[in-house]
Amino acid sequence: MLRGLSTSQLDLRDRRARHARRCDAPDHSADVARRVAFAPFIPLVPLLALLALLALTACQKETPRFEDVKPADELYAEGLERLEGRKILGLFRYVDYDAAIETFQSIIDNYPFSEFEEQAQLKIADAYFDDERYEEALAYYQEFADQHSTDSRAPGALLRVAQCHFEQVQSIDRDQGAARKATTALEALIQQHPYAEETRQGEEMLVELRTRLARNMLHIADFYLEREHWQSAASRYRRVLDEFPGLGLDARALYRLGVCLENMKRDDEALRLYHVVVENYADSPSARSARARIARAE
């Protein structure tokens, strides 16, 4: 029966037979795969349950218990009481400003839309101011003034902004950045609330600040004058006259500006300034010096 088949045909028949036997054999690969896949997880089931229980227990231990927050009016009264402080040995008054600030802050955190929220903000600012922490106080006052510009308490907040800067003003031979910031706040107060009671107090402070700024400018001008930097000195004396007139420093600035011009060979201009000093500030020390220079020029 096999005689008529070639060698290649016999090989092909054998391969087909072997393939048929493999296909008819039972397939155990799926069972093996399932055993391999699930066997490692069988002992993890109780372990995972234990881990879940431990995690739940830890969360319960770490979860804070929220205590009842006092009503806003009670917190506000408590904050005021803390600001009053207490006397030690009947002589010294001690105020725990941080405790008062914390009490008022709890009003802001828990009752942001209550009638006490805005007042608490101002009380925090007052506490910082009284504790001489002017930068912190400034932030609260400025925020209130910006957010409540039409409020009746806004003028007081702006005045306090100026006072916070004023308390940080240095001597006239140092940088006057704080004085300039205080001046800006007072100018805003006067412009925005011209009839407020706080504006009158602000105007008095403004005169003092402007005088301080003028003296600082004179100090710089004199520095250049002593070193014979005539042009630099002259520009500062002109600024005093242009930016800070009527503060009692005009005679001095005019006379020393004349000295600068005289040394810059601008004698006619210098002489005119000397005459202005003599005619308008006759009783000033600068007038006596101006008369001497006029006499020498003649």
Dist. CA 89–CA 175, nearest whole Å? 42
Least confident of 16-20, 144-148, 180-184: 16-20
What range does the domain containing 242 cover?
Answer: 229-298
Instruction: List the single range of 26-30, 99-103, 123-127, 267-271 with lowest mean pLDDT.
Output: 26-30
| pLDDT for 156 beyond 60 | yes
In this predicted structure, what is the pLDDT of residue 91? 77
Give φ, ψ of 95 to 5 degrees.
Answer: -125, 125
256 lies in a domain?
Answer: yes
| Residue-level pLDDT at 18 | 52
- pLDDT tens string 178-233: 999 999 999 999 999 999 999 999 999 999 999 999 999 999 999 999 999 999 99
Q: What pLDDT does residue 42 have?
A: 43
pLDDT number for residue 25: 47
Cα–Cα distance for residue pair 23/18, rounded to 1 Å: 9
Q: What is the length of the chain?
A: 298
pLDDT at 14 exceeding the cut of 90: no
Q: Say which CATH number the domain at 276 has.
A: 1.25.40.10
Query: What mean pLDDT is reported for the chain?
Result: 84
pLDDT value of residue 5: 44
Burial 139-173 (b: 16+ CB within 10 A, else e): ebbbebbeeeeeeeebbbbbbbbbbbbbeebeebe
Is residue 269 situated within a structural domain?
yes
Instruction: Give the residue with greater pLDDT, 32 vs 163.
Output: 163
The C-alpha atoms of residue 151 and residue 34 are separated, in whole angstroms, by 76
**What pLDDT sits at residue 124?**
98
Instruction: With respect to residue 257, please indicate whether it lies within any of the assigned structural domains.
Output: yes
Crossing angle for the helix pair 230-243 and 250-263, to the nearest 10 degrees? 150
- Across the range 284-294, mean pLDDT stands at 96
- Does the structure show a pLDDT above 70 at 47? no
Are 263 and 225 a contacting pair, CB within 8 Å? Answer: no
Q: How many CB atoms lie within 10 A of CB 107?
A: 28
Cα–Cα distance measured from residue 136 to residue 298, given in angstroms and rounded to the nearest whole number: 61
Question: Could you give the angle at the alpha carbon of 219 between the alpha carbons of 215 and 225, nearest 5°?
Answer: 135
Tell me the pLDDT band of 71, cut-offs 50, 70 and 90.
very high
212 exposed, middle or buried (CB, 10 Å; 0-12, 13-18, 19+)?
A: buried
Tell me which of 4-13, 72-81, 137-146, 221-230 is least confident: 4-13
- Does residue 247 lie in a domain region? yes
pLDDT at 74 over 50: yes
Specify the pairing of strand 86-88 against strand 92-94: antiparallel
pLDDT at 40 over 60: no
Establish if 145 belongs to a structural domain: no
Are the C-beta atoms of residues 83 and 126 closer than 8 Å to each other? yes
Q: Examine the pLDDT at 159 and tell me if it is beyond 50.
A: yes
Has residue 105 got a pLDDT over 60?
Answer: yes
Give the least confident one: 32-46, 190-204, 258-272.
32-46
Percent of the chain past pLDDT 70, that is, above it, reads: 77
Q: How many domains does the chain have?
A: 1
- What is the model's pLDDT at position 67? 60
Q: Cβ neighbours of residue 224 under 8 Å, at least 6 residues apart?
A: 230, 232, 233, 236
* DSSP bridge pairs for 87: 93
C-alpha to C-alpha distances, 266 to 7, 50, 168, 235, 274, nearest whole angstrom:
129, 98, 41, 15, 13
pLDDT at 263 over 90: yes
Q: Is residue 248 a part of any domain in this protein?
A: yes
Give 204-215 as a DSSP string: HHHHHHHHHHHH
Q: Which residue has the higher pLDDT, 39 or 207?
A: 207
Amino acid occupying residue 210: R
- 32 within a domain of the structure (yes/no): no
Is 2 part of any domain?
A: no
55 has pLDDT over 80: no
